[in-house]
Structure 1
């Protein structure tokens, strides 16, 4: 294993100092889901302290290329057990969520690296009251007819699913450690599944996403764990996890665009828009994620493993995969 070169200047000192003390945090992410059963999907196969990072994109070329001196590769996992999302006057509960990303940073600025598939996994959420709650009652004849049909429980059930609509951006290390500042920008879209709306009914899209910018509502608690490359807790080990917990994350600054693809050829887009008040302006919507837990993992001092830090992170991650 090659060690770091003795030179490196200010950038290397920034990287080593920042990551050796407190690395990074990120939002617990979204609300409902991009997967049908998060409990099955996110059950970790990684040993010991590696367990939170079972979807870390350690084999992404950009992560492998990180040298540890100028740029370090990290794994990040964030989750929330429950919460709420409000659009206008409609509120939907959120369920268990799991957001995982890779991070590339120099101790000051960071770039997100999404894993293959969805960075967000969570349990689907059934909308309380279903279609009757979302669109009824109504004095519009077409909607009145739908409301009458929705009285049948099989047609009434609506499942809300939040899906990624792009890679997170604007990650802010300082904001994640403190209170009241946006931690990152998370683009999402919401799918509404219902027999009458179809399974391609979306609020938001890749072209016009909902941009969530969660912030800590209170100061999170911080726990540092050092461990060996195999994941075993070890005082002074080369690896470290920074866990922040105990704080809700909130956002009341996002706008919500119009619906699309609802009903055959989008014939019910206007109905969803009318009943939900879409597009919904900033200030009319809110997100609350309860007791968000965020863990950032990697080398305690990444510069000590230059120029192979990214490659070694991948090697140790795979060795911990049981």
Structure 2
């Protein structure tokens, strides 16, 4: 592999380690395919997206990235939620001028375990001086209706991606607009913190450097030191963002919006930048691409897609 190519891939992986790390909650998708060998983690890489297929290998180079984290926490206003396992998968098109574009899978980039909100509805909105809410609070004691889950969803494409910041610490790597879906029978199905119009915008920064490793493989995923594909592995990094603002909740309550005020008052929303935080520990990130994309111009994108499909079991 050319040194410049290795540096570019390393920067991209480090940057997207954070992108996967701060995807603390997400939505599930349909069953993913099982892939052979070194391709195994890349089950949702958007290899068939037009931007990936059009990458020629010189002006534009296609790559697949997956980043996972087993645990972390997110603080919104007065509420802190422990996060579960997360999985981010995206395609990256590296441009010859040093910029890059993120390509999300059609089903969405983020997939993760839903998180339980501590205290459920009682913790989220009780006690309250709102008459209707007081009655609800009294009925929730020891009730199965008390449980509430939170799921983070993308509400726009990532932007402001800085691959140089990905190999450094304490610099914003990428901006990701998200909203959080609060789910409980009494909240209805339209209760969100953030929206497409007023999203929570996360800008993660590396707090520690990841450990570096590398492997090589054939197009179908079989390990081979002389293979045409390579995989960079970055592990163990911690990411954090403590500079994002959080808007108030909207759409909460079966009579849509009835419970907004109670949720916002108890949770401390809206919450200005500096009062919120996201931390993800021990992230595991992998990036794969062609070793010498410049030798297969203009078919680099199509070859990566062909190889990915050949690895599907």
Scaled by the length of structure 2, the TM-score of the pair is 0.92
Scaled by the length of structure 1, the TM-score of the pair is 0.90
**Quick one: structure 1 residues 136 and 173, their matched pair in 2 at CA, closer, same or farther if it must change by over 3 Å?**
same
In the aligned structure 2, how far is the partner of 1:134 from the partner of 1:22?
Answer: 40
Q: Does 1:51 align with 2:51?
A: no
Q: CA deviation at 1:153?
A: 2.1
- Is the Cα–Cα contact under 8 Å of residues 77 and 270 in structure 2 kept in the other structure? no
Q: Does 1:321 align with 2:312?
A: yes
Q: For 2:41, what is the secondary structure of its paired residue?
A: helix
Greater shift in the superposed pair: 307-316 or 270-279: 270-279
Q: CA deviation at 1:236?
A: 3.4
In the aligned structure 1, how far is the partner of 2:299 from the partner of 2:123?
Answer: 55
Q: Does 1:281 align with 2:272?
A: yes
Equivalent residue pairs, number: 306
Q: CA deviation at 1:33?
A: 2.1
Q: From 275, 282, 285, give the equivalent of 1:294.
A: 285
In the aligned structure 2, how far is the partner of 1:170 from the partner of 1:213?
Answer: 9
Runs of 4+ in structure 1 over 3 Å off = 13-23
Q: Which residue number in structure 2 is paired with residue 164 of structure 1?
A: 154
Q: Which residue number in structure 2 is paired with residue 3 of structure 1?
A: none
Counting only pairs closer than 5 Å after superposition, residues 89-108 of structure 1 correspond to structure 2 as 89-106=78-95, 108=98
Q: Does 1:130 align with 2:123?
A: no
Q: Does 1:109 align with 2:102?
A: no
Which structure 2 segments of 5+ residues have no match? none
Greater shift in the superposed pair: 234-243 or 86-95: 234-243
**Quick one: structure 1 residues 21 and 296, their matched pair in 2 at CA, closer, same or farther if it must change by over 3 Å?**
closer
Q: For 1:196, what is the secondary structure of its paired residue?
A: helix
Q: For 1:182, what is the secondary structure of its paired residue?
A: coil
Q: Which residue number in structure 2 is paired with residue 197 of structure 1?
A: 187
Q: For 1:52, what is the secondary structure of its paired residue?
A: coil
Q: CA deviation at 1:142?
A: 2.9
- Is the Cα–Cα contact under 8 Å of residues 167 and 186 in structure 1 kept in the other structure? yes
- Is the Cα–Cα contact under 8 Å of residues 16 and 302 in structure 1 kept in the other structure? no
Which structure 1 segments of 5+ residues have no match? 1-12
- Is the Cα–Cα contact under 8 Å of residues 20 and 300 in structure 1 kept in the other structure? no
- Is the Cα–Cα contact under 8 Å of residues 216 and 248 in structure 1 kept in the other structure? yes
CA deviation digits over 1:5-64, x for unaligned, max 9? xxxxxxxx99746447665331224112212xx8x856x511111111111111111110
Q: Which residue number in structure 1 is paired with residue 302 of structure 2?
A: 311
In the aligned structure 2, how far is the partner of 1:20 from the partner of 1:132?
Answer: 47
Q: Which residue number in structure 1 is paired with residue 251 of structure 2?
A: 261
- Is the Cα–Cα contact under 8 Å of residues 11 and 166 in structure 2 kept in the other structure? no
CA deviation digits over 1:51-101, x for unaligned, max 9? 111111111111101000110111111111011000122100100010111
Q: Does 1:32 align with 2:25?
A: yes
In the aligned structure 1, how far is the partner of 2:154 from the partner of 2:47?
Answer: 20
In the aligned structure 1, how far is the partner of 2:142 from the partner of 2:58?
Answer: 62
